[in-house]
Structures are given as C-alpha cells and as structure tokens.
Amino acid sequence: MRLMIVTLFVTLVLQGCQDEPLNTTIYMPENGSSLVLRSELDAELEGLIQRYGLTGDPLRGKNLPSIDAPLAQLGLKLFFNKALSGDKDVACVTCHHPLLGGGDNLSLSIGVGAENPDVLGHKRLLKDSLTLGVPRNAPTTFNSGLWQQFMFHDGRVAQVAGGITTPDVPYPQPDAQAGHNLVHAQARFPVTSSHEMRGNLFDRGGTTQTCRDRLAERLREEPNWLSLFRAAFAQADAAAETVMTEQNIAFALGEYERSQVFVNHAWKQYVQGDLTALSSSAKHGALLFFRERSEGGYACAACHRGDFFTDEQFRNVLMPPIGPGKGGVDNLSQQDYGRWLVTQDPADKFRFRTPSLLNVAVTGPWGHNGAYTTLEGVVKHMLNPFQAALSYDSAQLQQTHIPHMHLQENLREMLASNTDMAGQAYREEDVGYLVDFLQTLTDPCVTRSECMSRWLPSKDSDEQNPLTLQLDARFEP
Ligand code: HEC
Ligand code: HEC
C-alpha cells in the first residue's frame, strides 16, 4: 500500500507536477513558528533518514580547529606560499584554492612547468607539451579533517594499527614521522612530488626526507617567518632550527586545512527538521539517492554513506581512464590502477576511494582524473557506468594536453575488470532530480567570496612584515 502511494506520487512528478505533492499532512515545527506542509515525500525521506541513521552533521562532536587559531593562521600563510616548492613557483593553493571549491578547476592538476605560475583555474596551462603534469584530479581540501581512515584517491596515507602509514614506509606499516593526524601526514608529501611542487632539479637524488628538510632550511632564510612560527607554536625564544622544522610546517598546513569545515548545507537543515530547506525536486532526488534498487531508487548511499557521504572504501566504478596515469605493471601504459598501486592486491585494480559528496557541485571536474566536466555527466556515469564509459566523449576535456594515446586500450582493460557496480537502465529525468539533490550539499559559504575571505590571506595585516613569495592568484575568465 505504502509503495503504491509512492508510485502514484512518482508518476505525478514525472508528469511535470513540480509543486508540493497532493498527499500532505499538516506538520508543526518544534518552534511552532509557521505551519509547514509535510508531504508523503517528506514522510518517505524521514524513513530513509532513520534507516541510514543520518543526523545531517558529519562533525558529530569532532573537534576541528577554527581558522582563527594561531596554528591555522600560520598554516594559511604557508599554504599560499611558493617557498615550499623547489623552484619557488608553486604553492599548495595552486591546486587547492578556496575560491575554486578547494581544488583547481582542472581535470588534471598542473603544478610545476606552468606557462604562468600565478594563473589558476581552467586557464592554467603547461609551458610545453613535453611535460606530462599531474596524473590525477586534485580533491578538495574542504572538510579534509573529516576523513577517518584514508587520504588520497588511493588511500596511500592511512590510519593503520599502531599509527598512520605513508608512502615513506612499506604498506601497511606505521610511519613514525607521519605526524599528529591524517591531514598532517598528507601535507608532508606534495612538496616531495616532482610534478606537483619539487620540480626536477631541487634536491636531486635526495630522499623525501632530505627534500622536506632542505625546503624547511630554505624557508628559514626568507624574512619574517621566525616570529610567526614562534607565536603560533608558543615558543617565544625558540631557534629557527627548532621551530621552523618540516614537521611543524606540515602540522600548521594541516591545521589550516582542518579548519576548512563547510558542512552547513540545505540538506543538513532538512534532516534537522526544516522541511522547507529543499525543493520538491531535490527531495525527489534524495529519495532516488537513498532508496534501494528494489524500491525504485539507485542505492547511491550504499557507497556514499552517512553524513559525510562516503564509506571510505575503494571501488571500481569504471571511471574513464584518461590522462597519463600512474603507470601500470610495465610502467609504460598510461593506466591508473588506483588502490592496487598501494596494496598490489589484484582485486584492487581500478579501485578508488569513494569521494565525499559534500560541496560536490563546486568541486568539479569529477572523478579521480577529472574525466567528467559536468555534474550531469558524472551522475549519468554513476547511474550506468558501463554505458557511460563505452560512450565516453573526451571532447569535454578543456585541457588539450591530456594524452589519450592509450584511451581505447586502457578502457578495454578496465571494462574487463571486476567492477563494483552493475550497469543499469535509468530514467533520463532522474538525472536532473539527482543533480538537484547533490546541489543541496553545498555550504553557501563556499560560493561567497566574503565568507571565504577568512581562509584567504588578508590584504593589509602583514604590511610591516611582508612575506616574500606569496602566491597572488590570477583567475582568468
Ligand atoms: C600540482 C597540484 C597540487 C599541489 C601544488 C598540491 N596538491 Fe594536494 N593534491 C593534488 C592532487 C592531484 C591530489 C590527489 C593525488 C592522489 O590522490 O594521488 C592531491 C591530494 C591532496 C589531499 C588529499 C585530499 C583527500 O581527499 O584525500 C590533500 C589534503 C592535499 N592534497 C593537500 C595539499 C597540500 C597541503 C599541499 C601543499 C603542501 C598540496 N596539496 C599541494 C594536487 C596538488
Ligand atoms: C559501488 C559504490 C558506489 C555507488 C553505488 C555510487 N558511487 Fe558515486 N562514486 C563512487 C566512487 C568510488 C567514486 C570515485 C571513482 C573514481 O574517481 O574513479 C564515485 C564518484 C562519484 C561522483 C564524483 C565525485 C567527485 O568528487 O569526483 C559523484 C557525483 C557520484 N559518485 C555520485 C553518485 C550517485 C548520484 C550515485 C547513485 C546513482 C553513486 N554515486 C553511486 C562509488 C559509488
């Protein structure tokens, strides 16, 4: 009976009835302020919210630093500073700008070797076509403090028994130098990557550790940092060698990133009782997202689970294998085997970490390699991965340097692998409902530059003690 009512309702919606459905009961919010109509749709969603134990709040009491905390403030300055790259041309913010959704708006990131190092966003180009660039899409740094187990698309920085494992040690041993938390541990790696920040000449032949140490040493030669480090670490008389260490640099960077908590989206308000926070189209999308296939939905929440919209597991969803890849078995094929590169377990080939979907509307391009440049495109892919991968159109890529030499061949290998998804038919109009739902996961702050200004360097505060090498981002239309 219940299902029949729903079916009737779905039919009404499909026929173009976009307004609040007919089946409504009167609902009084707890504050009693206004009368809200509680529809059959709301009742259905309430059941799903209960089934999945959702609260709308992924923080659940987790203590993350405020951007006003001294360490986060120091981290902000470091995050925007090119001194942490070998040729002093790339900063973390190059690929993770707060006004670009915490990413870079590129399918595949460009670090060193850019035509103009200060141009960010979709107009950032490689100087010459001989450079390959970074083989993966830059995930957002927003809400990075909410990951419990894994960082990176392949989880190579991970919480393990006894600590945190990193690429510096054999997997899955804990790395004694990993630092205080996952985000701190991750922040020690971009500076060691030749494509991202190190370049080919700096600390040539060195190890990841000598690279970090030499960068810290070099930072000590730049003016005005020592007093900032001493203040942030509350060590008023510390020597530069004691307080300006690679560990403290990474810790401060991590505190800045962990302060980027953007979870106040409309869906949260809805889950917490404001039935007016979502349009009926978005509510319909939510139903499709959470319902099982047998209930007429698409079971997206099987993987995009909980209030952070991820199970932190690795899945093969057949993302089209574009770009230079990370090297396969022979290191020549432009393939990216994802989790397999970490575990060497054949079952892990092509598996990538399930991304969180918070703020997903502003974190494109999508997929571990940015294969999709529209949210509609990636949603269609998730609805029917086989069909989408087979008919993938690389013309959507704005970056012309992305190599496709082996695309067909790589695609064939991937399609023959064990996917974690079933190819399914879907109703074309459901794409729009799902997109409308995903849009409600955006915290309005991340779309407003006034709100984001707290995560950007302030224009005038440091006039007396200016820092050299701050990246002054240029976004070209
Ligand atoms: C050249 C572009 C580039 C630069 C510069 C860069 N990153 Fe990234 N970042 C990426 C890419 C690409 C990935 C994904 C790599 C992967 O998963 O293999 C990534 C991953 C991350 C992640 C993991 C997020 C997650 O969801 O697991 C964090 C956090 C991060 N970077 C922070 C930083 C910090 C801190 C710096 C500066 C020290 C930095 N990045 C510099 C491109 C960049
Ligand atoms: C079997 C697990 C699974 C299911 C079911 C699933 N996803 Fe995903 N989803 C993933 C994984 C894993 C990725 C990342 C794949 C990659 O990058 O190679 C992803 C990526 C995405 C992305 C891109 C996010 C980004 O930041 O790049 C969106 C959007 C998305 N999924 C939406 C959905 C929707 C909508 C559904 C239901 C129709 C769904 N997913 C079902 C596992 C799943």
DSSP state of 450: H
In a shared domain, residues 239 and 281: no
Which amino acid makes up residue 243? V
Q: Is the same domain home to 170 and 226?
A: yes
Q: How many angstroms is it from 407 CA to the middle of ligand 2?
A: 21
My answer on whether 276 and 214 are in the same domain is no
Looking at the structure, do residues 192 and 117 belong to the same domain, yes or no?
A: yes
For ligand 2, atom 13, the nearest C-alpha belongs to: 354
The CATH number for 298's domain is 1.10.760.10
Q: What is the mean pLDDT of residues 48-57?
A: 98
- What pLDDT score was predicted for residue 35? 60
Average pLDDT, the chain: 91
Contact 222, 77 (CB under 8 A): no
- State phi, psi for 228 to the nearest 5 degrees: -65, -45
Q: What's the whole-number mean pLDDT along residues 192-203?
A: 94
The answer to whether residue 31 is domain-embedded is no
Confidence of residue 129 (pLDDT cuts 50, 70, 90): confident
In this structure, the residue with its CA closest to atom 9 of ligand 2 is: 354
In a domain, 323, yes or no: yes
pLDDT value of position 20 = 43
Residue 38, in any domain of the structure:
no
Based on its alpha-carbon atoms, the radius of gyration of the chain, rounded to whole angstroms, reads 23
Assess if residue 123 is contained within a domain: yes
Give the list of residues 6+ apart from residue 31 with CB closer than 8 angstroms, or none: none
Dist. CA 166–CA 156, nearest whole Å: 6
Considering the domain architecture, whether residues 138 and 213 belong to the same structural domain is answered as yes
Contacts (Cβ under 8 Å, ≥6 apart) of 426:
298, 383, 384
User: In which element (H, E) is residue 120 found?
Assistant: strand 119-120
160 and 223 together in one domain: yes
DSSP 8-state assignment for residue 191: G
Looking at residue 6, its pLDDT comes to 36
Range of the structural domain that residue 345 is part of:
264-439
Q: Is 196 contained in some domain?
A: yes
Q: Which of 106, 152, 308 to mutate to test the pocket of ligand 1 (most atoms within 8 A of CB)?
A: 152
- Could you report the per-residue pLDDT of 204-231, keeping only the tens digit for each? 999 999 999 999 999 999 999 999 999 9
Residue % of the chain over a pLDDT of 70: 89
Residues 245 and 291 in one domain: no
Q: Say how far apart CA 81 and CA 93 lie, in whole Å.
A: 8
Segments of 203-349 assigned E as strands: 314-315
Please check whether residues 378 and 407 belong to one and the same domain: yes
* Residue 423, pLDDT score: 66
Output the CA 381–ligand 2 centroid distance in Å: 8
Element (H, E) at 219: helix 208-219
Contact call for residues 398 and 373 (beta carbons, < 8 A): yes
- Residues with Cβ within 6 A of ligand 2? 289, 298-300, 302-304, 315, 317, 319, 352, 354-355, 357, 360, 363, 366-368, 378-379, 382-383, 420-421, 434
In this structure, are 357 and 464 located in the same domain?
A: no
In a domain, 27, yes or no: no
Contact 79, 107 (CB under 8 A): no
Residue 41 lies in a domain: no
pLDDT of residue 11: 37
| Residue 123 sits in the same domain as residue 213 | yes
Same domain, 293 and 396: yes
Q: Which residues line ligand 1 (CB under 6 A)?
A: 84, 90, 92, 94-96, 109, 111, 134, 136, 138-139, 141, 144, 151-154, 183, 186-187, 190-191, 196-197, 253, 257
Question: What is the per-residue DSSP string for 410-423?
Answer: HHHHHHTS--SS--
Q: Does the residue 53 lie in any domain?
A: no
Same domain flag for 160 and 189:
yes
